[in-house]
A and B are shown apart, each in its own frame.
Chain A
Amino acid sequence: MRGQANPVRAYGPILLMAAVLGALPLLAASNTLLNAMVLALIIALAAQGWNILGGYGGQFSFGHAAFFGMGAYCTAILQTRFGVNAYIAFAAAVAVGSLVGLAIGYLSFRSGLRGSYFALGTLAFAEVFRILANASAFTGGAAGVLIKLDVRPETFQFASRAVYFWIALGLVTAVMLVNRWIERSRFGAWLVAIRENEDAAKALGVDTFAVKLKAITLSAAITAVSGAFYAQYFLFLDAGIAFGPWISVEALLAPIIGGLGTVFGPVIGALGLHFVSEMTRHVTGRIPGIDLVLYGALLVVMVAFARDGIIGLLMKLRARLAGGRA
Chain B
Amino acid sequence: MTAGGDVILSVENASRRFGGLLAVDDASMTAGRGRITGLIGPNGAGKTTLFAMISGFIEPTAGRIVFEGADIAALPPHRRAIAGIARTFQIVQPFAGLSVRDNIAVGAHLRRPGREHALARADEVGRLVGLGDKLDDPASDLTVSGRKRLELARALATDPKLLLLDEVLAGLNPSEVRDVVPVIRSIRDTGVTIVMVEHVMQAVMSLCEDIFVLAQGRIIARGGPAEVTRDPKVVEAYLGHGAAARLVAREGADHG
Q: Determine the residue in chain A with the shortest Cβ distance to B81.
A: A205
The proximity string for A residues 177-200 relative to B, scoring 1 for CB distances below 8 Å and 0 otherwise, is: 000000011100110110111011
- Distance between A18 CB and nearest chain B CB, rounded to angstroms: 24
Which candidate, B5-13, B104-112, B182-190, B208-216, is the interface stretch facing chain A? B104-112
B115 in the interface (beta carbon within 8 A): yes
Q: Determine the residue in chain B with the shortest Cβ distance to A183.
A: B115
Contact A200 B115 (CB under 8 A): no
B87 in the interface (beta carbon within 8 A): yes
Contact A205 B94 (CB under 8 A): no
Cα distance, A200 to B157, chains bound together (Å): 13
Cα distance, A185 to B105, chains bound together (Å): 11
A320 in the interface (beta carbon within 8 A): no
A150 in the interface (beta carbon within 8 A): no
A204 in the interface (beta carbon within 8 A): yes
Beyond A186-B118, A204-B107, A205-B82, is A196–B98 a contact (Cβ under 8 Å)?
yes
Contact A203 B77 (CB under 8 A): yes
B121 in the interface (beta carbon within 8 A): no
Contact A189 B77 (CB under 8 A): no
The proximity string for B residues 57-95 relative to A, scoring 1 for CB distances below 8 Å and 0 otherwise, is: 100000000000000000011100110001101000111
Residues 106 to 132 of chain B near chain A (Cβ within 8 Å) = 106-107, 109-110, 112-116, 118
Q: Determine the residue in chain B with the shortest Cβ distance to A58.
A: B97
Contact B155 A196 (CB under 8 A): no
Cα distance, A197 to B157, chains bound together (Å): 17
- Distance between B77 CB and nearest chain A CB, rounded to angstroms: 4
- Distance between B159 CB and nearest chain A CB, rounded to angstroms: 10
Partner of B78, one of A5, A185, A208: A208
B49 in the interface (beta carbon within 8 A): no
Cα distance, A185 to B117, chains bound together (Å): 11
A114 in the interface (beta carbon within 8 A): no
Contact A190 B106 (CB under 8 A): yes
Partner of B87, one of A5, A203, A207: A203
A143 in the interface (beta carbon within 8 A): no
- Distance between B65 CB and nearest chain A CB, rounded to angstroms: 16
Beyond A199-B57, A200-B154, is A192–B115 a contact (Cβ under 8 Å)?
no
Partner of A184, one of B81, B106, B109, B115: B115
- Distance between A11 CB and nearest chain B CB, rounded to angstroms: 14
Which residues from chain B contact A184 at a C-beta distance below 8 Å?
115
A1 in the interface (beta carbon within 8 A): yes
- Distance between A59 CB and nearest chain B CB, rounded to angstroms: 15
Partner of B97, one of A189, A196, A202: A196
The proximity string for A residues 1-27 relative to B, scoring 1 for CB distances below 8 Å and 0 otherwise, is: 100010000000000000000000000
Beyond A190-B106, A193-B95, A196-B98, is A204–B115 a contact (Cβ under 8 Å)?
no
Cα distance, A209 to B115, chains bound together (Å): 21
A201 in the interface (beta carbon within 8 A): yes
Which residues from chain B contact A5 at a C-beta distance below 8 Å?
116
Which residues from chain B contact A196 at a C-beta distance below 8 Å?
94-98
Contact B109 A190 (CB under 8 A): yes
Which residues from chain A contact B78 at a C-beta distance below 8 Å?
202, 205-208
Contacts beyond the supplied A197-B96, A203-B87, A205-B107: 12 A-B pairs with Cβ under 8 Å = A1-B102, A185-B115, A186-B115, A186-B118, A190-B106, A190-B109, A196-B96, A197-B93, A199-B57, A200-B106, A202-B77, A206-B106
List 22 A-B residue pairs with CB atoms under 8 Å apart, sorted by A's residue number. Answer: A186-B112, A189-B102, A189-B106, A193-B95, A193-B98, A193-B106, A196-B94, A196-B95, A197-B94, A197-B96, A201-B106, A202-B57, A202-B77, A203-B89, A204-B106, A204-B109, A204-B110, A204-B154, A204-B157, A205-B78, A205-B158, A207-B78
Going nearest first, the 10 A-B pairs with the smallest beta carbon separation are A205-B81, A196-B95, A205-B110, A200-B93, A202-B77, A193-B106, A204-B107, A186-B109, A207-B78, A197-B93
